[in-house]
């Protein structure tokens, strides 16, 4: 369908899964552009034969050069700073990549007439009450530096569609789990902690609700939007069911056969959003459906980490991850002891 696809952030968790899916589905020409931040890993594309350009999406000259050289006709933008806790510790880089970087990609897309798909998040809706499920038309009420930067990115995308007539689409995904996720995120962090018999630091009461979605469902949802979605539109992507963090923990502990005594309730995340839940009917109308329930998604993901110690052990042993873990958790765990 597309001649040549630029996948930015293709060495990250979801981007790498998406590149693998594109290849499986026979999309021949793919180019990855990735800065290889701490979250980007070449290992995520091990065995995959696609050109990888190491570079920053905020570099307009580079983005233009890559798009011209490879005759790109679709950009799918996964590149982002993605962890809420990191955005609380170090917010500026989030504006840089998620706002400025998105803007640079849009500008090159406009100049060269390239279709643009933005990978966004359900966090832009902010925390929601009761039994509401966010609709694509709901107001954006982001509450963390991460989600605020993603909301700003979405609004730039919409502005390029309205003002310049650029062919754009946006997907807003819920919490993804699966292979190749960086260990800072809760499911790989808690799974590997449990395997190592380390405590699991649950923020606050652990009753926050999330729609845990398998990454493959997210990726097939993005493909459905690229193939059948309406230009200028936004689509939510999720399993369409929520569970609490404590329920998520039980599923992963069951999977790796470790006791609940590893659970520690620690000081809460600042501004912690209590509940996200997306209404996915608009995407379902394109013929897409999630294949994994949140339970199946979490169990499958936890099993993957159990079976792939060679993937995650080097990260856990790295000085940068140890420094992050110490900064984020040492005081919390000490106070909870
Ligand atoms: P990730 O952190 O695993 O990967 C991000 C990738 O982007 C890394 O490879 C990193 O090197 C690259 N990158 C970061 N800054 C860059 C820059 N300036 N230039 C080029 N590359 C850069 O992220 P992920 O979890 O795979 O998320 C991918 C996208 O999906 C993000 O836009 C995120 O907001 C969105 N999203 C994530 C989730 C989730 O649960 N993980 C859910 C919904 C939406
Ligand atoms: O909803 C989509 C979003 O999901 C994406 O846009 C983000 O990129 C992705 O990081 C994720 O954000 P969350 O903040 O929901 O995910 P995280 O894995 O950080 O946390 C999930 C839940 O677990 C959340 O309620 C916080 C809680 N948590 C997290 C960590 C890391 C803990 O209780 N303890 C922890 O140590």
pLDDT tens per residue across span 166-225: 999 999 999 999 999 999 999 999 999 999 999 999 999 999 999 999 999 999 999 999
Residues 56 and 87 in one domain: yes
Residues 18 and 133 in one domain: yes
The answer to the question of residue 288 being in a domain is: no
The answer to the question of residue 65 being in a domain is: yes
The answer to the question of residue 317 being in a domain is: yes
Residue 10 has pLDDT above 80, yes or no: yes
Let me know if 92 is exposed, middle or buried by CB neighbors in 10 A (0-12, 13-18, 19+). Answer: exposed
What's the whole-model pTM score?
0.98
Residues 205 and 64 in one domain: no
Residues 190 and 307 in one domain: yes
Residue 1 has pLDDT above 90, yes or no: no
Residues 42 and 147 in one domain: yes
Mean pLDDT confidence for 276-295: 98
pLDDT given at position 337: 79
Q: Which ligand is nearest to the CA of 41?
A: 1
pLDDT given at position 2: 92
If you take atom 31 of ligand 2, which residue's CA is the nearest one?
186
Ligand 1 atom closest to residue 177's alpha carbon, by position in its atom list:
40
Mean pLDDT confidence for 44-55: 97
The answer to the question of residue 276 being in a domain is: no
Distance between Cα 127 and ligand 2 center (Å): 13
Q: Which ligand is nearest to the CA of 52?
A: 1
The answer to the question of residue 47 being in a domain is: yes
Q: What is the CATH number of the domain that holds 263?
A: 3.90.25.10
Residues 58 and 92 in one domain: yes
Q: Which string of DSSP letters, residue by residue, matches 296-308?
A: HHHHHHHHHHHH-
Sign of CA dihedral 283, 223, 215, 168: negative
- Which of 82, 83, 172, 175 to probe ligand 2 with, by most ligand atoms within 8 A of CB? 175
Distance between Cα 136 and ligand 1 center (Å): 21
Residues 42 and 171 in one domain: yes
Distance between Cα 75 and ligand 1 center (Å): 14
Distance between CA atoms of residues 276 and 280, nearest Å: 13
Residues 143 and 206 in one domain: no
Residue 166 DSSP class: -
Residues 15 and 159 in one domain: yes
Query: Active-site residue numbers?
Result: 122-123, 146
CA atoms within 13 A on the CB side of 55: 20
- Which of 7, 12, 153 to probe ligand 1 with, by most ligand atoms within 8 A of CB? 12
Q: Which residues pair with 121 in a beta bridge?
A: 173
Mean pLDDT confidence for 113-126: 98
Residues 87 and 228 in one domain: yes
Q: Which string of DSSP letters, residue by residue, matches 242-307?
A: -EEHHHHHHHHHHHHT--GGGEEEEPPPTT---B--B--HHHHTTT------HHHHHHHHHHHHHH
Residues 164 and 222 in one domain: yes
CA atoms within 13 A on the CB side of 312: 26
If you take atom 20 of ligand 2, which residue's CA is the nearest one?
186
Q: What is the CATH number of the domain that holds 95?
A: 3.40.50.720
Q: Which ligand is nearest to the CA of 249?
A: 2
Please report, for residues 87, 130, 202, 246, the alpha-carbon distance to residue 207 in angstroms, rounded to integers and kept in the order given. 22, 13, 10, 6
E strand or H helix at 117, and its extent?
strand 115-121
Counting other chains too, the contacts that 314-323 makes at CB distance below 8 Å and 24 or more residues apart are 315/182, 315/183, 316/183, 316/192, 316/196, 320/38, 321/38, 321/183, 321/184
pLDDT given at position 28: 74
pLDDT given at position 266: 98
Tally the domains of the chain.
2
Radius of gyration of the chain (CA): 19
Task: List ligand 2's pocket residues with C-beta within 6 A.
Answer: 82-84, 121-123, 174-175, 185-186, 189, 201-203, 208, 210, 245, 269, 276
Percentage with pLDDT > 70 across the chain: 100
Residue 208: phi and psi, rounded to 5, are -65, 145
Distance between CA atoms of residues 183 and 315, nearest Å: 8
Distance between Cα 109 and ligand 1 center (Å): 20
Residues 64 and 190 in one domain: no
Ligand 2 atom closest to residue 208's alpha carbon, by position in its atom list:
25
Mean pLDDT confidence for 40-52: 97
The answer to the question of residue 130 being in a domain is: yes
Sign of CA dihedral 194, 273, 176, 16: negative
Query: Which range of residues forms the domain containing residue 250?
Result: 186-210+242-271+293-329
Distance between Cα 267 and ligand 1 center (Å): 26
């Amino acid at each position: 369908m597309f001649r040549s696809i630029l996948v930015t952030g293709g060495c990250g968790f979801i981007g790498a899964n998406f590149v693998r899916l594109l290849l499986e589905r026979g999309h021949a020409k793919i180019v990855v552009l990735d800065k290889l931040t701490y979250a980007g890993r070449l290992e995520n594309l091990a065995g995959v034969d696609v050109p990888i350009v190491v570079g920053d999406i905020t570099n307009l000259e580079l983005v233009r050069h890559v798009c011209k050289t490879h005759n790109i006709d679709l950009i799918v933008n996964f590149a982002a700073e993605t962890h809420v806790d990191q955005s609380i510790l170090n917010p500026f880089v989030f504006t840089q990549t998620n706002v400025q970087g998105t803007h640079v990609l849009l500008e090159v897309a406009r100049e060269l007439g390239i279709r643009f798909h933005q990978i966004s998040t359900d966090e832009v809706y902010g925390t929601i009450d009761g039994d509401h499920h966010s609709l694509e038309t709901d107001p954006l009420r982001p509450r963390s530096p991460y989600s605020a930067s993603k909301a700003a990115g979405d609004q730039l995308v919409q502005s390029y569609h309205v003002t310049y007539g650029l062919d754009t689409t946006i997907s807003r995904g819920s919490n993804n789990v699966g292979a190749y996720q960086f260990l800072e995120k809760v499911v790989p962090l808690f799974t590997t902690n449990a395997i190592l018999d380390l405590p699991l630091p649950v923020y606050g009461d652990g009753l926050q609700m999330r729609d845990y979605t398998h990454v493959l469902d997210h990726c097939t949802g993005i493909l459905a939007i690229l193939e059948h979605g309406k230009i200028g539109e936004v689509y939510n992507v999720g399993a369409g069911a929520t569970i609490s963090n404590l329920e998520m923990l039980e599923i992963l502990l069951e999977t790796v056969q470790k006791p609940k005594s590893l659970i520690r309730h620690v000081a809460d995340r600042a501004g912690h959003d209590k509940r996200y839940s997306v209404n996915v009917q608009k995407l379902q109308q394109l013929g897409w459906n999630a294949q994994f329930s949140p339970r199946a998604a979490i169990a499958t993901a936890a099993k993957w980490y159990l079976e792939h110690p060679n993937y995650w052990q080097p990260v856990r042993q790295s000085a940068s991850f140890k420094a992050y873990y110490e900064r984020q958790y040492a005081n919390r765990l000490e106070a909870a002891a």
